[in-house]
Structure 1
């Protein structure tokens, strides 16, 4: 009997609290999405929009932690959106899944029920690798999920700003060497910015930044102590393991 190799895998996240089906090849969910969810503050009843949701990892991880949010997953790829829809159902999490380009105009968003000034919280993990320095994958979906154009960040932040109500909160993850670009994009309409650097190893520069900003916020920018993913032996630190397994949150998610 010949085994049939499927293009879909089922993977456990949050220490097994969340089971997700995703494509074996192309862009696959990982630590970035779970860290993003752990950095996002939300409360029961909040309207939460996950932009570029992929198979739903970050949004569904947040919904697993915060019951009763009104979750919308926005994804441009119909195949990934279909997987996200199935993942929400399989994990008994209520979520609207919308096939839509994040860079679409307000009319396109409204046609899908995403009205301006309607969201309490937006989270996003945009493509962030620099096309000039990053050799993109030959896999089209993986390339689109990882490599940014010059306008990617501004366009995604603009979409978030349009969706959020006054004082609504945006949480995003970006590469650490692009933090100046993040601050520039957020300077148009956002304030009360908090930045959490993420380091892969002790003694090495940060590899990611997690950023929280409020629409119309006026508080000074805060640079928080960095998160170290691995210890000196390159093993995940206990605090990071607790976050990845859903037993703890990051400071950005704390009220």
Structure 2
């Protein structure tokens, strides 16, 4: 699929993740990988031999962080912007991680996915960090790559979840991160074809409302909703919480990846 004009600036930086065990090149301006990608990777359950597909991979931060933790997964990174997909592929090679990158619109047809080697019922796990800011309430960045990565349309969530449902095997898991005030929307969309939903709120500070939710759902699952204890990023003194620090350093995983 064509890149449709989504191209970032040429200048890149090299940044360390997981305590320096993962080095990623990314554009100096525009959308840049950060905490959300690492929290998503730390919430994704996978084992060696699993076909794992990352939607909206960007430069590959979440998928490659997962592959660094779980050796032997069959990782496919899906990204609409060819410039970012190229960086993701380069990052995989630079970190000696086996992965395949596909330039593809997540909201594309089943035929487009199949042509890219991603037929229905072929994945064990999908992880995704979709654009989740409401375009009505948030001013879009002038940078087209950053805007596409951040601003959701009215159909973004439904389209991405539908694509995950089609791609996953029965019993496969979808793991995602979304803004906390969109929980009702997430649960509504997951109600079609998913169950056994687990939710972990993420708080920036103990005295503030949650800013993100980490969600895992199982295709065809039947267990009731499970609300997990919150993850706190910063303690009362504004210092990183020890659990969050360990997760971001790749030393600990989150509950969604454990059970």
Q: Which band: TM-score by shorter chain?
A: over 0.9
Equivalent residue for 2:218, pick from 197, 214, 217: 214
Q: What are the within-5 Å matches in structure 2 for residues 80-119 of structure 1? A: 80-119=84-123
Equivalent residue for 1:21, pick from 22, 25, 29: 25
* RMSD over aligned Cα atoms: 0.9
Q: In the TM superposition, what is the alpha-carbon distance from 1:197 to its structure 2 partner?
A: 0.2
Q: In the TM superposition, what is the alpha-carbon distance from 1:233 to its structure 2 partner?
A: 1.2
- In structure 1, runs of 5+ residues without a counterpart are 1-5
In the alignment, is residue 65 of structure 1 matched against residue 95 of structure 2?
no
Q: In the TM superposition, what is the alpha-carbon distance from 1:36 to its structure 2 partner?
A: 0.1
Could you tell me how far apart the structure 2 residues matched to 1:142 and 1:244 are?
23
Could you tell me how far apart the structure 2 residues matched to 1:115 and 1:96 are?
15
**TM-score, scaled to structure 2:** 0.96
Q: Which residue of 2 aligns with 1:186?
A: 190
Residue by residue over 1:100-154, the C-alpha shift from the partner in whole angstroms, topping out at 9 and shown as x without a partner, is 0000000000000001000000000000001111111111110000000000000
Q: What are the within-5 Å matches in structure 2 for residues 161-176 of structure 1? A: 161-176=165-180
- In structure 2, runs of 5+ residues without a counterpart are 1-9
Q: In the TM superposition, what is the alpha-carbon distance from 1:235 to its structure 2 partner?
A: 1.2
- Partner SS state of residue 171, structure 2: strand
Equivalent pairs counted in the alignment come to: 251
In the alignment, is residue 224 of structure 1 matched against residue 208 of structure 2?
no
Could you tell me how far apart the structure 2 residues matched to 1:7 and 1:232 are?
37
Q: Which residue of 2 aligns with 1:177?
A: 181
Could you tell me how far apart the structure 2 residues matched to 1:149 and 1:224 are?
29
Could you tell me how far apart the structure 1 residues matched to 2:20 and 2:192 are?
40
Could you tell me how far apart the structure 1 residues matched to 2:142 and 2:240 are?
31
